[in-house]
Amino acid sequence: MEERPIEDETTELAAADTPVEPAEALEPTEAAPESNALDAAPAEDQSEAPAEVNAVPAEAEAAPESAESAPQSADIAPEAAAAKKAKVKNAVMIGVIVALIVVLLPLLIINLTLIIKGSLNPDMPPDLFGTAPLAVTTDAMAGEEEGCFSDGALIFVKLLEEDEKETLKEGDVITFRSEELFVTYRITEVVRGEDGSVHSFRAIGDRDAKEGVNVPLTISPENVIGVVTGSVAGLGGFAMFLQTPVGVLVFVGIPVVAYLIYDISRIALSNKRAKAAQGEKIREKDEEIARLRAMVGEAPEAAEEPDEE
């Protein structure tokens, strides 16, 4: 049996217990991040490059859209002008129709009122608010004095009550009933009774008095209709025409025809606008479909280009 020296064992134990310093082993780990940083730089460059490349097609796609919007804006101007012209035309037509209604409708109402009143009471001239319009058919009152009028004039006669006839005086132009006619003369004399009341009037036409053709007529107060308050030259013939069946038909027909023309024009214009709007929508849909088809056709070509490289 061999004996080993104790010193050797202690030496080996000391050597086994001595730790190894890792200084040299850590140096490679410090250099590793530098290599990783160098390797990451190309990755970032590669990620940024496609973004710039992809930005170019986006701008290229925006250019056709702006080019397409230019014709649309150019088409809006003629449409706006046409719409404005149609509005002006419609406004003018409405103005004409309103003017016709404003002018003709009152005349129609007045004419119908006079016709109805004249038929209900033929012994009195038809009146409107106490004033009777009468057409002059002779030149008996032609002259240069105040209150004179000629054939074809329209006179306005204020209807008088019995007590108002007492206030008539010389020089007044009165309308009285003579058989089945209404005659208008100027008073030349007022004959009164003993009590001061009017007994009769003496009257004659201005032209007859000037020429001395006739003598004044004696008129009783009961036959006096009223006193003339005014006249319009040339309007009597028109007033007489209104009282004929043809005149009534014309004044009823013109407003009705004018309204029908306006209504038909309005409907036609509305249909035209509706068709134009529908056609515009169809055109926009067709353009949108064509644009989408063009985009779908360009997509496969763009996808095939990298494979060819």
Structure tokens at 192: 């009164």
Beta bridge partners of 185: 174
User: ∠290-295-300 over CA atoms, to 5°?
Assistant: 130
pLDDT band, very low/low/confident/very high, at 176 (cuts 50, 70, 90): very high
Interatomic CA distance for residues 243 and 111, integer angstroms: 7
Q: What is the pLDDT of residue 139?
A: 87
The answer, yes or no, to whether residue 30 has pLDDT greater than 50, is no
The answer, yes or no, to whether residue 62 has pLDDT greater than 80, is no
CB atoms closer than 10 angstroms to residue 226: 26
Q: What is the mean pLDDT of residues 219-235?
A: 91
Q: Is 251 in contact with 104 (CB distance < 8 Å)?
A: yes
Structure tokens at 163: 């007590």
Burial of 132 from C-beta contacts in 10 A (0-12 / 13-18 / 19+): buried
**Among the ranges given (45-59, 94-108, 116-130), the one the predictor scored with the smallest mean pLDDT:** 45-59
Q: Closest Cα to residue 94, out of 261, 252, 274?
A: 261
Q: What is the pLDDT of residue 185?
A: 93
Burial of 224 from C-beta contacts in 10 A (0-12 / 13-18 / 19+): buried
Q: Closest Cα to residue 291, out of 57, 54, 61?
A: 61
Identify which has the larger pLDDT, 206 or 37.
206
The answer, yes or no, to whether residue 158 has pLDDT greater than 80, is yes
Q: What is the pLDDT of residue 200?
A: 92
Q: Beta strand 217-219 with 224-232: parallel, antiparallel or unpaired?
A: unpaired
Q: What is the mean pLDDT of residues 260-286?
A: 84
Q: What is the mean pLDDT of residues 278-306?
A: 77
Q: What is the pLDDT of residue 160?
A: 92
Q: What is the mean pLDDT of residues 267-278?
A: 84
Is CATH 1.20.120.1230 the right assignment for the domain spanning 125-235?
no
**Among the ranges given (159-163, 167-171, 247-251), the one the predictor scored with the smallest mean pLDDT:** 247-251
Interatomic CA distance for residues 118 and 116, integer angstroms: 5
Domain ranges of the chain: 90-122+244-293, 125-235
Specify the amino acid at residue 70: A
pLDDT band, very low/low/confident/very high, at 32 (cuts 50, 70, 90): very low
Q: What is the pLDDT of residue 75?
A: 53
The answer, yes or no, to whether residue 252 has pLDDT greater than 80, is no
Q: How far is CA 259 from CA 59, 107, 242, 256, 306, in A?
A: 58, 17, 21, 5, 72
Q: pTM for the complete prediction?
A: 0.51
Interatomic CA distance for residues 33 and 40, integer angstroms: 10
Identify which has the larger pLDDT, 37 or 188.
188
Q: What is the mean pLDDT of residues 230-235?
A: 89
Q: What is the pLDDT of residue 302?
A: 58
pLDDT band, very low/low/confident/very high, at 298 (cuts 50, 70, 90): low
